[in-house]
Amino acid sequence: MIKKIIIFFLFISYWANAQTPSFVAQVSKNRVTVGEVFQIAFTLNGSGSNLAYPNLNDFDIYSGPNQSQSMSMVNGNISQSTTISLFIAAKKEGKFTIGPASVLSSGQKLETKPIIIEVSKAATQQQSNQNPQSGQPQQNQKQEKNQYASEISGDDLFVRTYLSKTKCYLGEQITLTQKVYSRVDLRGFQNVKFPPYNGFWSQQENSNQQINLRQENVNGVTYYVADYCTVYLFPQRTGALTIEPVELDCIVRRQTKRQPRNIFEQFFGAGGYEDVAIKVKSKPVKVDVQDLPTENKPLEFSGAVGDFGYKAELDKYQVKANEAVNLKITISGKGNIKLLEPLKLNLPESFETYDPKINENVKTNGGVSGSITYNYLIIPREKGEYTLSNLNFNYFDADKKRYVSLPSPDIKLTVLEGDPGSAQIITPTKKGIKESENDIRYIKTGNLGLKKADEEFFSSTMHYLLLILPTLLFFGALFFVRQRIKANSDIIAVKERKAAKLAKKQLNITEKHMLSNNKDLFFSEVLNALNKYIGDKFALPIADLSKERITEMLLSKHVKDETAKQLISTLNTCEYAKYAPSAVTGDLKQVYQDTIELISKIEEQIKK
């Protein structure tokens, strides 16, 4: 039995590794209004690393990144996929392109295709006509009273914002929870508009669980409550900060008053139900943020607030001079760990160090917690016995309202005599030659930039060269202008020289028709561009262009017969598509690219 289990897992691993990786991006909608929240998701089929997001500066990020994973088996083939999603909203109207995201998978770099988002102006007039309590147009309230069996008031459905603390310290973590209270048949949510959390650094809880309803008693009334979202906030400035309301549409199932349409509806009672969207909005919440106390504040304090642990260690404690050693500093705990700055090291003067490599392992379930590791590369240049001290870490414990200093034990490092060859690549240091008020300064080496004391600029060679330089530039510019006028005086030669450039510029117009899949206009523009190119290139009017004449002119210019046949084939396809676009199949993008390559090929063969 154990052997069968082992074979089964080996089989799963084989098929999982054999899966062909793919990486795609998709959005919930590509036509939105300003401020409307929509979802963008990046899905990787397979395993990968080093995910790089596209530039989202034109959008506000309201939630995410949220991650989900799935695995499936179809016809014996096992596939796994990972999806990372964000909820974003456009800042202004216009047409924006979300560039490609990239990821490394199976040794290759995968990129998603760019996505075009069209953003229109928000329908303010329509919103102003909405009833702020029920989310329905005011002019339809009377009609709704006659349409539905019961009414929904503000006491039946509302949303509230809860904070774990309304008074906190600068940088302290507080938890914000949005709760929806309902005494009606709540079916779902849509069109969520999260607040911007001005003055806070925010991190939404990474939870892939479905929203569940539970019962809660509020002032003696029982409600079904849904915790819609949980966000962890870290205030970045002191004073009274306001968290703006959250807005969302709740989908509610309501019973109508219409008469039963058949015997089945009559047998089951009511005439029917409808799902309607009701807009709800929470109230703003204020937070009083206090500055951190100055009493007993350590000099090395860098802004860490929470509850942390600290560890510092070397990967080896005995090295040769000019060899590298890695100092690993790990900070773990709960708080504003993602906002920490790398520690400043107090190392011996003969040590060289570089900016650390940072590794994060942070989660957001139940609060922002985890660990962050700084790996410092250190190179001791001289032998000796060294002690690394004063590598302390300080943070403020908001619960205990005091500063905590975590000392690092003294780390001893033995540096042996370096290899003879390693000293050849060392850059000389200024150790031991300290600059002071009554001592010798460090000797300057290299090019000192000395010059003769009696050397003057006037009457020198450089002086005369600068005097005649404007005259030379003037006659050079005059000669260039005359040559350009002479070259442009021959209209036929100019058209022949710029034929390819003008044709490719005209083909750019077809790109709009290609994106809208308008075959009629697309092929018509391609045909016009090719005819214009041939007419300009061979100084022939378009009316005199025939297939035989075009072939004859191409062959006389030493264009290959294969290329000439390809041009005639493209012209025939465009003429056929102009009168019967639905009968032509094929990828318009491929036709567009083939036409550009065909013009380039003709230009290249004519020059030869």
Query: Could you report the per-residue pLDDT of 448-468, keeping only the tens digit for each?
Result: 666 666 566 777 788 788 888
Under 8 Å CB-to-CB from 246, ≥6 apart: which residues? 159, 161, 178, 192, 193, 194, 195, 281, 282
What is the pLDDT, as a whole number, of residue 608?
A: 62
Q: What is the pLDDT of residue 133?
A: 38
pLDDT tens by residue, 82-119? 888 888 888 888 898 888 988 888 778 888 889 888 89
Distance CA 458, CA 467 (A): 11
According to DSSP, the β-strands at 411-416 and 318-320 are: parallel
Length of the chain: 608
Q: Are 603 and 497 in contact (CB under 8 A)?
A: no
Pick from 227-236, 331-340, 516-525: least confident: 516-525
Give yes or no for residue 268 having a pLDDT over 80.
no
What does the pLDDT read at residue 458? 73
d(CA 384, CA 322): 12
Give 536-572 pLDDT, tens digit per residue: 777 777 666 777 888 888 888 778 888 888 888 888 8
C-alpha distances (whole Å) from 197 to each of 39, 61, 63, 162 are 19, 11, 12, 14
Alpha-carbon span 243 to 235, nearest angstrom: 11
Q: Residue 220: what pLDDT?
A: 66
Is residue 377 within 8 Å of 353, Cβ to Cβ?
A: yes
DSSP helix, strand, coil percent of the chain (3-state; round to 5): 30, 35, 35
Say if residue 423's pLDDT is above 90. no
Residues 293-342 have pLDDT tens digits of: 999 999 889 899 999 999 999 999 999 999 999 999 999 999 999 899 88
Cite the beta strand spans of 164-272 per DSSP E.
167-169, 174-182, 185-193, 200-204, 213-218, 221-235, 239-243, 247-255
Arithmetic mean of pLDDT over the chain: 78
